[in-house]
Structure 1
């Protein structure tokens, strides 16, 4: 009678004498279930029995997890690099990426003052597209704007010394403080400031092509947009979302007024037309310039730092998701004293780039005293709060400090302290290219006459152990 009762209860809960229902599932079904779990849960699942341990450690499962968490572009780029040659297990690679704590720096070009290198500059644009680095414009000594375009082909050989090629196009007009993002295989550029202080609000599309006889070419064309467009500005922040749209925020508008508006550009399939529309949300980040806006996957973006209305340098973090008709900015609050060595976090003129494994790598910039930095920080956005919620929410400051901010050790070549440089990553997200920026001269850093500009191209590599 007791045996019958026990058997009945087991059946009612879905168990049988041959084990739990999950152990009887086909391997491909278990595989599908595991791919819906976070990595930590998969590792806990592997500890339950030998059968599950073997499944949860399979290379095909972890390759799929890397595809899920890093995106196909990163995985394919890693396969084409040394990882593919060494056949490093994907589970081991995933662990190494999640635990990254240092970077390795090296110079990729050694300017000699000749005509074969871009001249020193800051507030330019630098993008990686179609296997090439593309540099445009910027400001140089004396506050003059530049209108030159330079291209350096990289391919899959990231560590070699690069050769720059100057592209003579004559357009767009010279400017600095503009924004330029990569959408598909195109560059989309907006705004900027010229050396007369004039602001732009034009939108340009550039396309890179590689030819056996002509080398690398780049063609720019003015994008046709409607009458509803962002006002003229420079020193704003921008990124590409959802692989098809450009988002801009803030900047310095007419008469030196700092802005706090957010705009989205939707492009036609043939990249001939575009439509701008403004996102009105409350609350929203205060007005600022020299900040960063970075896409962290899909339609989700993160904003960090910049210079506010009172000329103070900021260290606030905001998230925005533009996936529906009711986007909202959500601020993540934290106490600076809870961040290890966090006294140097507030900054303007820094770079913030999404790297392999969901690491937002922040480097360089300057503080309120114009002390320039050469440090590297990771803002881990893997545990970012839901930003499609109805009401803005703040996180516990100690939790944010412990899980989000981490300062990386820098090995190899010691980069100079700089601000208003530009940085971009390769397709894998393991390599960061950094060019130019303002540096301290021989005079006091607070004296504008003591500024000088840089023209080194640096490679910053995430060290995977």
Structure 2
């Protein structure tokens, strides 16, 4: 019965996926880029995203040239169609990035983060029905210190619900502390855990069956971690998991989501200027890692003919063959690092991709991966995976994963993708030829 259902899904999606093959990167065909025609969020990374009533909400984020961003946006993305991006009118709490967000009932809880000059330990609660907002300020010694680049997960045990906060930057160092915020009483408590993982930032964390699973991140020495830990939320006992199979390489700024009995890890930064778009799954029952998408370099879906037409349209009519002084011919730019300038800095602790001395350096000139014509396509572009990236968001809606934003080599994105979750594909290992 399950096999028939999966076959029907492949037929409905119009994707010819050979699930019996073990050496073909089947996942490439399961991606679709979602392009909308009207207003959409500015380029950003290290924002937050949640799903609520089949809509994705994003909040804040950063553009390394413009700095931390403000505002909340939403979009409804279904299996075959999508709405338009909508900017929501909410109370302005100022720019914010590297924060966390969870959703419970009709409330979105945004915790911590930085505005580029200071970190926060407040909670902002948004009512997603009417977009009213309130803030919860720290009120006792058990609450976390000002924190950013941490994780927050929703945990429910049938009687109560908590926001579980782990790791991040705290008081100038990477933290390994665990804090719980009771959503009913709105009180903080620091969890007294057994000895666990070293302090880290820009890791991932998910909840599965009364356990929080933490993967990767960056340690105090700036190393990209590949260790995997499990915290029993009933006993507060940490366990170092030695997974089997294709264990992912160390990374930070990646995403992790839960689909049925697996965790899906996408993208992240393996090293400075070394982002990836590979994908792994971890089966909680078999404790096995599977790599089901290789790393790929992605081109913009604009044909060579369209690019040539665009170049011709940018040639000065006064002197045929010479580029207009104000309109240079577009190029598919090489993926090189951006030249840096100390003209504008945010003083804060060292973050992934920033300078070693801890200043938050802004690039002199904004740069994108592609500087040619916009794609004429509006809607879905099938079999078009995301560029390698870190600092993006990923959420689950039914059997699709939605990915938004992020950056690569300090070049931010504001693109949106869906990945169709076919259980056989994400559990089938790739073979390297």
Q: TM-score, normalised by structure 1?
A: 0.55
Number of residues of Structure 1 aligned to a counterpart in Structure 2: 284
Q: Counterparts of 1:378 and 1:274 in 2: how far apart (Å)? A: 35
**Which residue of structure 1 aligns with residue 264 of structure 2?**
302
**Which residue of structure 1 aligns with residue 289 of structure 2?**
328
What is the aligned counterpart of 2:191 among 223, 232, 240?
A: 223
1:193 matched to 2:163? The reply is no
Whether the 8 Å contact between 2:385 and 2:417 is mirrored in structure 1 is no
What is the aligned counterpart of 2:228 among 253, 262, 273?
A: 262
What is the Cα deviation at residue 338 of structure 1?
8.5
What is the aligned counterpart of 2:413 among 373, 382, 397?
A: 373
Higher Cα Rg, which structure? 1
Q: Which secondary structure does the structure 2 equivalent of 1:263 belong to? A: strand
Q: Which structure's relative contact order is higher, taking Cα pairs within 8 Å and 6+ residues apart?
A: 2
**Which residue of structure 1 aligns with residue 396 of structure 2?**
354
**Structure 1: 5+ residue stretches without partners:** 1-33, 45-75, 79-95, 112-116, 210-216, 397-465
What is the aligned counterpart of 2:154 among 176, 179, 182?
A: 182
Whether the 8 Å contact between 1:331 and 1:394 is mirrored in structure 2 is no
Structure 1 residues 288 and 153, CA gap change in structure 2 (3 angstroms): same
Q: Counterparts of 1:239 and 1:202 in 2: how far apart (Å)? A: 16
Structure 1 residues 366 and 195, CA gap change in structure 2 (3 angstroms): farther
Q: TM-score, normalised by structure 2?
A: 0.59
**Which residue of structure 2 aligns with residue 153 of structure 1?**
127
Alpha-carbon displacement from aligned partner over 1:273-325 (angstroms, at most 9, x marks no partner):
3121122235311111111111112x30111111112431111111111213x
Structure 1 residues 276 and 296, CA gap change in structure 2 (3 angstroms): same
Structure 1 residues 190 and 334, CA gap change in structure 2 (3 angstroms): closer
What is the Cα deviation at residue 330 of structure 1?
2.8
Q: Counterparts of 2:289 and 2:2 in 1: how far apart (Å)? A: 29
Whether the 8 Å contact between 1:108 and 1:162 is mirrored in structure 2 is no
Structure 1 residues 42 and 182, CA gap change in structure 2 (3 angstroms): closer
Q: Counterparts of 2:9 and 2:249 in 1: how far apart (Å)? A: 41
Structure 1 residues 234 and 334, CA gap change in structure 2 (3 angstroms): closer
Structure 1 residues 262 and 164, CA gap change in structure 2 (3 angstroms): same
How big is the alpha-carbon RMSD for the aligned residues of Structure 1 and Structure 2? 3.1
**Which residue of structure 2 aligns with residue 166 of structure 1?**
136
